Amino acid sequence: MRVASLQMTSGPDRMQNLRVASQLLQQAADQGAELAVLPENFSLMSVSDQEKRALAESEQHSSVLDFLSQQASAHQMAIIGGSILLRGDQGLLRNSSPAFDADGKLLDIYDKIHLFDVEIDGESYHESSTIQPGHAPVVVQHGAFRIGLSICYDLRFPELYRHYADAGCHMVSVVAAFTAQTGKAHWQTLLTARAIENQCYVIASAQAGTHADGRKTWGHAMIIDPWGEVMAMQEAGEGVVMADLSLARLESVRRMLPALQHRRNIPPILP
């Protein structure tokens, strides 16, 4: 299966972001992609918490979900719609990754489980002040491939990806907006680890560059195979990277080094 990972530098103008996404999706389709993966917050970035609440849409009436459905149907290409803001409970929002089949049907929506509440060298992020955490992994099927969905900070929690391996996933999507600081230090290392330890493909989309509010994101959208080899990468700037995924390659890796079969139950350490 030919897949595309997209990289953007999204800003506060939703319509402009959708125009850029449309252009990149067209590029992916023109190159024969059967699945395209957009980055986290692809339709809206660099806005205040108040603006996020005002601009968030309901799952039932979302112009962005409609856009993604139309794009998938028009190109006959499955789309993982990065992540978008949807209204949640009690005044909070959901950071949600929707998946569409090639006919534009919404397959499922994954809500980000692990929220980015950190302070690193003067940079402060408190995602939980506006976002409610998701509660469950989500797996979708496209052709012969089972795909586990995840968002950005989830990448640091390997147990989520082991759930996906146990569920028979061949691929995981990581839609992200890693900061330049944490991305330089950890992004590729974490992606490679998730691919190797779960012997699956990793499709990582990214935000890249300097955004309207001055935030800098790392970029380096990439596709990694089950052996940990980087198949394609876009270091900086907006663009599309492509790769052809093979179940035969995945099965070969799992036969050659059957680590998933060699796992043992480890009892908890008692105090």
Q: Which residues are catalytic?
A: 40, 112, 152
CA distances in angstroms from 170 to 142, 152, 226, 230, listed in the order given? 11, 19, 9, 16
Q: How many helices (H) and strands (E) does the chain have?
A: 7, 16
Tokens of residue 47, six digits: 């806005």
Are 167 and 146 within 8 A, CB to CB? yes
The residue to which tokens 């290409």 are assigned:
77
Cβ neighbors of 243 (< 8 A, separation 6 or more) are 2, 3, 223, 231, 232
- As given in the structure block, the two tokens for residue 227 are 């052996």
Lookup result for tokens 């059967």: 34
Distance CA 156, CA 255 (A): 27
What span, in angstroms and rounded, lies between the C-alpha atoms of 98 and 29?
19
Answer yes or no: are the C-beta atoms of 79 and 35 closer than 8 Å.
yes
Q: How far apart are CA 83 and CA 25, in angstroms?
A: 15
For 95-136, the three-class secondary structure string (H helix, E strand, C coil) is: EEEEEECCCCCEEEEEECCCCCEEEECCEEEEHHHCECCCCC
